């Protein structure tokens, strides 16, 4: 049922909310796999959510990706949420610059008339560099802000699509395939049951940090992402899902 009115999704939203033990599910009509405007609409719903839920002086951690870029695109200032600071959730993950968390974070902050901090970390990161970089005062301060974030907003990707987009090595690709990785978020790759198969070594938000954050919002749509969304939500670290009709229907059909 394409182009259904927004409130027609109440039942589907409730069903997904219960199935994945979420606090809130927001579904926008259409399928972003088929129509580009649906992704823009996902962005608008995400911005509306932020506007309704942010208050003054909050810290918002964001990931990269095209869904987050769509959110940044339509970001708008609000009176309620002044003096907010945006931080990237994790360091470099191998994305093109327009899809990087740093870029998206700065754009969101500028549009919201807020502040931002960036993480300049080489990518990929060796164990040795990792250890010394987290001791840098500038990095330390940003890392502290990331862990104290009031709200996290992130994308969910299909595992192999993300690995290829990030030009992962053949060793990593083999590991993902043999571990049957289905989804990716925050640089972590998960299998069907939500178990971590592989993790990109970078600084920033770790999966376990999410449990301390009140509001963790996933923004992901398109029927082709349904399996990835399901796999990621299995480990239950997000509290809100903003998705589209295409993904939502496949998600329920699948379960
Ligand atoms: C990445 C995020 O940048 O974007 C991931 O770090 C996510 O968490 C991915 O999987 C999703 O990308 P897109 O383009 O499908 O929104």
On average, the pLDDT of the chain sits at: 93
Closest residue to atom 5 of ligand 1, CA basis = 185
- pLDDT tens profile 213-255: 999 999 999 999 999 999 999 987 899 999 999 999 999 986 6
72 lines ligand 1 (CB under 6 A): no
Cα radius of gyration (the chain)? 17
pLDDT-derived band at 78, boundaries 50, 70, 90:
confident
What ipTM does the predicted assembly reach? 0.95
- DSSP-assigned beta bridge partners for residue 118: none
65 lines ligand 1 (CB under 6 A): yes
CA 126 to chain centre: 24
Closest atom of ligand 1 to 187 CA is 6
pLDDT-derived band at 207, boundaries 50, 70, 90:
very high
Closest residue to atom 15 of ligand 1, CA basis = 157
247 lines ligand 1 (CB under 6 A): no
186 lines ligand 1 (CB under 6 A): yes
Closest residue to atom 8 of ligand 1, CA basis = 185
Distance from Cα 141 to the centre of ligand 1, integer Å: 25
- pLDDT tens profile 110-138: 999 999 999 988 877 888 988 899 899 99
CA 33 to chain centre: 18
Q: Are 53 and 83 in contact (CB under 8 A)?
A: no
244 lines ligand 1 (CB under 6 A): no
64 lines ligand 1 (CB under 6 A): yes
- pLDDT tens profile 17-30: 999 999 999 999 99
Quick one: pLDDT at residue 3?
A: 53
What is the pLDDT averaged over residues 52-78? Answer: 96
């Amino acid at each position: 049922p394409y182009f259904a009115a927004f409130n027609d999704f109440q039942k589907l939203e409730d069903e997904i909310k219960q199935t994945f033990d979420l606090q809130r599910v927001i579904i926008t009509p259409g399928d972003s796999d088929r129509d580009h405007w649906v992704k823009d609409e996902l962005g608008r719903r995400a911005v509306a959510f932020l506007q309704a839920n942010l208050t003054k002086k909050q810290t918002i951690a964001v990931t990269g990706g095209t869904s987050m870029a769509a959110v940044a695109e339509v970001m708008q200032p609000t009176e309620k949420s002044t003096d907010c600071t945006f931080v990237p959730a994790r360091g470099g993950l191998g994305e093109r610059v327009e899809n990087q968390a740093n870029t998206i974070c700065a754009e969101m902050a500028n549009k919201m008339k807020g502040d931002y901090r960036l993480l300049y970390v080489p990518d990929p990161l060796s164990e040795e560099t990792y250890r010394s970089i987290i001791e840098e005062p500038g990095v330390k301060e940003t890392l502290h802000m990331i862990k104290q974030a009031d709200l996290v907003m992130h994308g969910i990707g299909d595992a192999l699509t993300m690995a290829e987009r990030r030009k992962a090595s053949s060793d990593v690709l083999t590991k993902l395939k043999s571990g049957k990785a289905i989804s990716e978020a925050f640089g972590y790759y998960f299998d069907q049951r939500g178990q971590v198969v592989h993790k990109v070594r970078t600084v920033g938000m770790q999966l376990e940090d999410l449990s301390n954050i009140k509001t963790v919002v996933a923004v992901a749509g398109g029927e082709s992402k349904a399996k990835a969304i399901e796999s990621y939500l299995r480990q239950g670290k997000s509290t809100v899902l903003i998705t589209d009709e295409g993904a939502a229907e496949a998600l329920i059909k699948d379960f």
